[in-house]
Structure 1
Amino acid sequence: MDFLELAAKRYSVRKFKEEKVRREDLDKILKAGMLAPTAHNDQPQRILVINSDEALEKLKKCTACHFNAPTALLICSDKDACWTRKYDGKKSYDIDAAIVTTHMMLEAASIGVGTTWVMHFRPQVVREEFALPDNYEASAMLMMGYPAPDAEPYPGHFEFKDEKELVFYNEF
């Protein structure tokens, strides 16, 4: 399957089998995150695997959007380890985290692991429940597992805006 086929096929899975993501699949997904490009190749991502029963209960305190996933990733960034644009002081960590999360999400889809990217979480609760260091910023959660047989895309998933609304050449 080529990249565009993979991108078109992938959808946010909100119903999972109870089985935790197998270690060999998890390792591939994590490797994709480690191979992801980051600004200046500083690699500020810090990824917490959440797959014990205790950690999954903590996760449920952080977000209603856990979908009872048997495995999750908490994608954080070390704000002290990222690149900073000199012109305006913008730090790259959120962009880096988004690239890393996307790589892992697409690798998961390529091996049959369903995911849902979640940003709807309570940052302070995440910080407390998972003891994030002060210099870590939680950017995203990736709920994951093997899709339940009756899992299906959200009703509007395959509706896309016209290219004319999204793509411009040389001027807006």
Structure 2
Amino acid sequence: MEFQNLIKNRFSVRSFKNTAIEPAKINMILEAGRLAPSAVNFQPWHFIVVQQTENLKKIKAIYPREWITSAPVLIIACSDHSKSWKRRLDGKDSADIDISIAVDHMTLQAVEIGLGTCWVCNFDAKKCSELFNIPEHIEPVVILPLGYPDISAPEKKRKPLEEITHWETF
């Protein structure tokens, strides 16, 4: 798929068909995240693949929206703050930026192979760490539900380029 079309075809999917995802497709998505760039190439991420029924049900305890249970696979994308690059001038931690780049690669890969997903960041991260045995120095940042979309893409509403672009200075 041409890159511009890939971007245009990506949308937040919140309804999935009751169809299993082939392991090869899950691995392609994970590989896309693995290959993402990160600050100083530190790659401070971990991905937890959740597909067993009892573990999928645990997600409702940290994100109580009914739609998420229709996804046959969830990936919990985590940042390892002990391994991320910190900017010397002010100590800014690049972990959130790095995991965002990796997750974006994963979402675009999902679209290219016919799957849908939706970034979920509004969840109980502390409870997530408890339920999925995530070490204290690793932060769950995004839950990425994956599946075959059971809905059509809505029309995207985006600001015009001239409203958000500034040349040379703000």
- Calculate the TM-score normalised by the size of structure 2: 0.94
Unaligned runs of 5+ in 2: none
Q: Residues 161 and 67 (structure 1 numbering): CA distance in 2 closer, same or farther, change over 3 Å? A: farther
Deviations 1:120-155 (A, max 9, x none): 11111111111210100111111110112xx1335x
Aligned residue in 1 for 2:128: 126
CA contact (8 A) 1:14 1:67 kept: no
Query: Would you say 1:41 and 2:41 are equivalent positions?
Result: yes
Paired residue secondary structure (2:163) = helix
Which residue of the other structure, out of 130, 139, 143, is the alignment partner of 2:145? 143
Aligned residue in 2 for 1:114: 116
Aligned residue in 2 for 1:26: 26
AA in 2 matched with 1:130: F
CA contact (8 A) 1:20 1:51 kept: no
Deviations 1:78-125 (A, max 9, x none): 110111100000111000010000000000000001111111111111
Instruction: Report how far residue 68 of structure 1 moved.
Output: 2.0
Aligned residue in 2 for 1:97: 99
AA in 2 matched with 1:3: F
AA in 2 matched with 1:29: I
Unaligned runs of 5+ in 1: none
CA contact (8 A) 2:76 2:140 kept: yes
CA contact (8 A) 2:17 2:70 kept: no
Aligned residue in 1 for 2:50: 50
Aligned length: 168
Q: State the alpha-carbon separation in 1 of the partners of residues 153 and 135 from structure 2.
A: 36
Q: State the alpha-carbon separation in 2 of the partners of residues 146 and 91 from structure 1.
A: 35
CA contact (8 A) 2:51 2:72 kept: yes
Q: State the alpha-carbon separation in 1 of the partners of residues 3 and 157 from structure 2.
A: 19
- Calculate the TM-score normalised by the size of structure 1: 0.93
User: After the TM superposition, which segments of 4 or more aligned residues of structure 1 sit over 2 Å from their partners?
Assistant: none
Aligned residue in 2 for 1:159: 157
Paired residue secondary structure (2:119) = strand
Instruction: Report how far residue 67 of structure 1 moved.
Output: 4.8
Q: State the alpha-carbon separation in 1 of the partners of residues 69 and 14 from structure 2.
A: 6
Q: State the alpha-carbon separation in 2 of the partners of residues 134 and 14 from structure 1.
A: 30
Aligned residue in 1 for 2:81: 79
Deviates more, 1:71-80 or 1:55-64: 55-64
CA contact (8 A) 2:15 2:70 kept: yes
